[in-house]
Amino acid sequence: MSHIQYTICRSGSYYYNRRVPKQAVGAYGPFIRVALSRCPTEAQSYAERLSYVLEGAWRDPQAVQPLDVALVVEGFRPKSYVLSEIAEEYLSLRDINERPSRLALAAFLAVAGDRGVRDYRREDAKFFVHHLTKRGKKTATVRRRINSMSAILNYAYSELDVDKRNPFSRLLIQGEGQDSKTRGTFTTDQLLSGYEQALAGSNTLRLLFPILGETGCRLAEVVGLMKSDINWHDQILHIRPNDKRRLKTPSSERSIPLTPTALKALKLVTSGTDSDWLFPRYIKEDGCYATHASNALRGWMHREWGLTAHSLRHTFRDRLRAAEVPVEVIDQLGGWSSGLNAGSKYGAGYSMEHLRKFMDRVALSCETPSVTQSLVSL
């Protein structure tokens, strides 16, 4: 016998054992017997919870709800997930760019192993930070990895009802921020030089330079463009997600008026391919390989100016500032999350007519010889 209500104990195992009320016999049979646990505390908890469920299902004699009792009890048992499993669940549910989380997860699993999420300790998180630092990672990168792992474990602890402090919470990084460098920007002469080289040359990839320079887009946003994202009639570029390339943030989805130089570069790019994509070489079955395009472009840009493709985005914001463009317009054009008050997020934003007026203030045009060579991709 057992002192726990509605249970019996046989050979050290507790079973839920209860006579079914008359109105529910048709759905459950005369008795319910199902294994609970060998632990008396656990068995009592399961028995009490199962009683609440069954009594609720039996409450209305005219509408008894049949339940799979064994499945109900199984749902009471604490789930045991290894980190890689819960991370996959987390990424499948969150509408985010998966790459940062996957990079952090791969690096952490390499040093701490793939274990049950309850088993990780503060020492594992600290060693992870030490490992990344020794590998020469910038402190900003280390912080991003920490934040990614913290988010995954927060989700795991919430879903599994684990009462445990996140080992990645409030981790300190020695010298954080002291290794940061201000990203350089282009002068107007450097921009014009780059535009001229790209537009007069035969290298399709270099046409990213004037497109990025005249739109302020992130490189991945442009590398993942489809031809259908360009409205040739109204001269507008639509930055929107597709099945090969997500966007960084919700505010990244936007429409940008095209300057004459950006329009010229886009026409040259699209004339060089029959694909639906602007840069089909970097579109694979499993996604957009913008990093490969960035690496291919880096050599030329670093050799010429010692700067990167992302420097064009910083330069674009500086150009808008110098032209006294309102901050809300700058954020809307660049897809930046607004740092202003909550009121800045109300309404539909600036019209395309207004955006074009501001873009005209910063548009750079350059004269290039007629392009006689056929364009070839890198």
For 25-47, what is the mean pLDDT?
93
| Residue ending a domain, choose from 56, 76, 96 | 76
Q: How far is CA 181 from CA 163, 188, 191, 334, in A?
A: 40, 22, 22, 22
SS3 content of the chain, % helix, strand, coil (to 5): 55, 10, 35
Name the token pair of 167. 């080992």
Tell me: do 211 and 246 sit in the same domain. Answer: yes
Q: Is residue 378 part of a domain?
A: no
- Residue 251 is classified by DSSP as G
Residue 24: domain span: 7-76
Q: CB 166: neighbour CB atoms within 10 A?
A: 19
| Residue ending a domain, choose from 159, 174, 207 | 159
pLDDT in tens, 333-378: 999 876 555 555 566 789 999 999 999 999 998 765 444 333 344 4
Q: Is residue 237 part of a domain?
A: yes
Tokens 């030490």: give the residue.
130
> CB under 8 Å to 156, separation ≥6 — which residues?
81, 83, 86, 90, 117, 162
* Cα–Cα nearest to 87, from 23, 150, 174: 150
Amino acid letter, residue 36? L
Tell me: do 58 and 93 sit in the same domain. Answer: no
Give me the pLDDT at residue 377, please: 41
Tell me: do 201 and 322 sit in the same domain. Answer: yes
Burial (Cβ within 10 Å: 0-12, 13-18, ≥19) of residue 23:
middle
Amino acid letter, residue 340? L
Alpha helices in the chain (DSSP H): 25-28, 40-58, 69-76, 83-93, 98-112, 122-134, 139-159, 188-200, 208-215, 219-223, 260-271, 290-305, 309-322, 327-334, 352-362
pLDDT in tens, 140-153: 999 999 999 999 99
pLDDT in tens, 7-16: 999 999 999 9
Tell me: do 239 and 342 sit in the same domain. Answer: yes
Amino acid letter, residue 237? L
Count, residues in the chain: 378
Give me the pLDDT at residue 298, please: 93
